[in-house]
Amino acid sequence: MSEPTTLSAPASAPARERNSAGKLDRRPAPTTRKQPSALLSKTAVTAILALAALYTLLPMLWLIMSSTKSRQDLFATNGFAPGHGFALFSNLSHLFTTDNGIYLRWIINTVLYAGLGALLATVFSVAAGYAFDKLAFPAKEKIFALVLIGVMVPATAMAIPLYLIAAKVGLVNTYWGVFIPGLVFPFGVYLARVFSAAYVPDEVLEAARLDGAGEFKAFLRIAFPMLGPAFVTIFLFQFTQIWNSFFLPLVMLSDQKLYPVNLGLYDWYSSALSQGHPEDYLLAVVGSLVSVAPLIILFLMLQRYWKAGMTAGAVK
């Protein structure tokens, strides 16, 4: 609903106005200027972006190429070139049948940990961020400072304390041991507060209250829909975070049936070559490719919201 153009910040407008000689509506593109310095900087930027793209895409290319190779070709041919045969489908069928299809189970586990966990974490974050922004309650800023401290502490540093607590309450090696920590997302609360300040005008809430809506109803019916982009942004952040979290599941889980996919792949990968079962190495390669797919699909699906959310947050 909020196009980035309508949000153009007034502070930066005068500066641009002076530079482009009064033509406010026509944005000066660097190419039209024909100045060597501009051309140079454009080349430099393009080169840096190209390098960054290579840096991201080359491993992906290796992964795609390697996934289509037989075990022989995997070591016999160049990693970035196709192999002699096309073994993707036999690799895939091997992947989904190994150990009675444990890989599919890992994928489902990960979707539960990351999908359901991030969904709930986002609901909590948005509600809390909204409360911090719009509601008045005692010691509000002090509590918010606590949330910010939570943002500063890296998730990896929390893994061991969480594990010790889980051991005390008997959650070690259970689904809940990994799921529950994923529900807490301090950075999401912080983001939600910023978004709430940007997207939900106080006047609208006042109007809702005047019309007789209670606080909960005002949040649920008025504010929550306005926070849609915030919801998607926070969800994607937390989803990727849980999807990628490694150390917590590593210490928390011992039963392979509860593993998220990255831990399962690591299991295969870490002992494949040293313990002399290279077929697991190929499984880890193909499994990595398949495990990337859901993330790509999710990002493509939610890209529209995600982009809107990012730009809106940036300009405010």
Instruction: State the residues that interact with another protein by CB under 8 A.
Output: 72, 74-76, 160, 163-164, 166-168, 172-173, 250-251, 254-256, 263, 266-267, 270-271, 273-279, 281
36 CB neighbour count, 10 Å cutoff: 8
Please, what is the minimum distance in Å from the beta carbon of residue 147 to another protein? Answer: 27
Longest dimension (CA), the chain: 74
Please, what is the minimum distance in Å from the beta carbon of residue 146 to another protein? Answer: 26
Closest to another protein by CB, 118 vs 248, is 248
Closest to another protein by CB, 2 vs 98, is 98
Please, what is the minimum distance in Å from the beta carbon of residue 269 to another protein? Answer: 8
CA distance 35 to 72: 54
311 CB neighbour count, 10 Å cutoff: 16
Closest to another protein by CB, 239 vs 281, is 281
Closest to another protein by CB, 140 vs 277, is 277
Please, what is the minimum distance in Å from the beta carbon of residue 151 to another protein? Answer: 25
Closest to another protein by CB, 121 vs 166, is 166
Please, what is the minimum distance in Å from the beta carbon of residue 63 to another protein? Answer: 13
